Amino acid sequence: MSREKIKNLIPSKIKFYIKNIKRLFDVFLMMIALNFKPSEIFRFSTRKFIPPKKFRFKKKDLKLVPYKFINEKSSNIDQLDEVYAIGIGSSFEISKIKNMIDKPIFLLAFWDSLKIDQQGQISYYTDDSNHYGHKANYFSGNKYIEYINPKITYVTSHLHVANKLLKKGHKVLIVTGYTAGKNSSLVAPGKSNYESDDFRKLLENPNIKRVSILDEIIKFPTEQPFPNWTQTGSIIPYLAAISFFSKKIDVFGWDFFLNKSPNEMSYLELIQKMYSNDADWKRSLSHFEEAIFNFYFGFSFSKNKKFKIHSFMGHLNNHQKLIEKIEKSFLIVCDKKNL
């Protein structure tokens, strides 16, 4: 009997538990490697989202914002002096948006629009079940209507989300990310199709703008089994896209699933908080790997004068030791031992 036929005989529930146990073991080994041999984490990354040495940049060559603006695939966007960029993290009370009237607002990785109830309380929730979603100020008994604010632009990479928001009358910034392919070609990651007729039609809407960026976190092109994109989650590339037309960005709600500040956590507690099994399974079996990138660039962006990180990813100054270990997991760090 072939291996494939044997797999088909195994009940799906048992397959789920086997896959989950394997993933937990991989994460455990990555945590051990992070503390004792960070450069070897790639060996245990379940979906190979951490690169081996041949696909890593030297730390000294990594840009402050590790993306390149692709002018020919972007809209003409006016330069802005200062903007708010807001995620759906626990550190930010979403109703405060009503008082943020002095600057343009960019909402990052929202899968649906904001709503408002009879008492004027802003709420966020979504019926989209294809991802690990957040809710804020949502109560099932309340009645909600669309919250319309001309200062708000929703930032997404997903065509179906952009279409939904545009139909509701909102402004959208769609970020199309590419990596370097062979012979200087541009590669759209995964199943993205930025050259389709549906996408071109979408861009005809006057309420949508496009920013295209080239990912330079990992040295592309890679080879199988390593994917052709960096699994950072949405916030990092969206902030990069906004940085190309904004002089200063005040960032709120970028918490990467933390519910309290890293400044209040010990080294061991923070490492444990880098992984959530629930979020991992409801998203893409990459939560720990994404935490590596979010923690590193949260710390890095907070040192960049263009960004003012008010959220938990900007509270990592007390964890320099952890950041130094993280950078060795995906960068070539030339210290005395490597000279």
Per-residue pLDDT of the chain (339 residues; tens, 9 = 90+): 566 665 666 777 787 788 889 999 999 999 999 999 999 999 999 999 999 999 999 999 999 999 999 999 999 999 999 999 999 999 999 999 999 999 999 999 999 999 999 888 999 988 765 555 678 888 888 899 999 999 999 999 999 999 999 999 999 999 999 999 998 899 998 777 888 899 999 999 999 999 999 999 999 999 999 999 999 999 999 999 999 999 999 999 999 999 999 999 999 999 999 999 988 987 789 999 999 999 999 999 999 999 999 999 999 999 999 999 999 999 999 865 543
Please check whether residue 193 lies inside any domain of the structure: yes
Please check whether residue 21 lies inside any domain of the structure: no
Cα–Cα distance measured from residue 297 to residue 313, given in angstroms and rounded to the nearest whole number: 8
How high is the pLDDT of residue 195? 85
How high is the pLDDT of residue 140? 82
Q: How far is CA 316 from CA 33, 258, 271, 309, 321, in A?
A: 21, 12, 12, 11, 10
How high is the pLDDT of residue 191? 73
Query: Considering its fold, how many domains does the chain have in total?
Result: 1
Q: How far is CA 35 from CA 135, 303, 328, in A?
A: 34, 24, 11
Please check whether residue 273 lies inside any domain of the structure: yes
How high is the pLDDT of residue 110? 94
Please check whether residue 15 lies inside any domain of the structure: no
Spell out the residues 6+ positions from residue 263 whose beta carbon is closer than 8 angstroms to its own: 315, 317, 318
Please check whether residue 72 lies inside any domain of the structure: yes
Cα–Cα distance measured from residue 121 to residue 145, given in angstroms and rounded to the nearest whole number: 11
Please check whether residue 19 lies inside any domain of the structure: no
Please check whether residue 259 lies inside any domain of the structure: yes
How high is the pLDDT of residue 89? 93
Q: Are strands 105-108 and 80-86 parallel, antiparallel or unpaired?
A: parallel
Please check whether residue 104 lies inside any domain of the structure: yes
Provide the residue range defining the domain that includes 190: 50-338
Helix (H) / strand (E) containing 287: helix 287-302
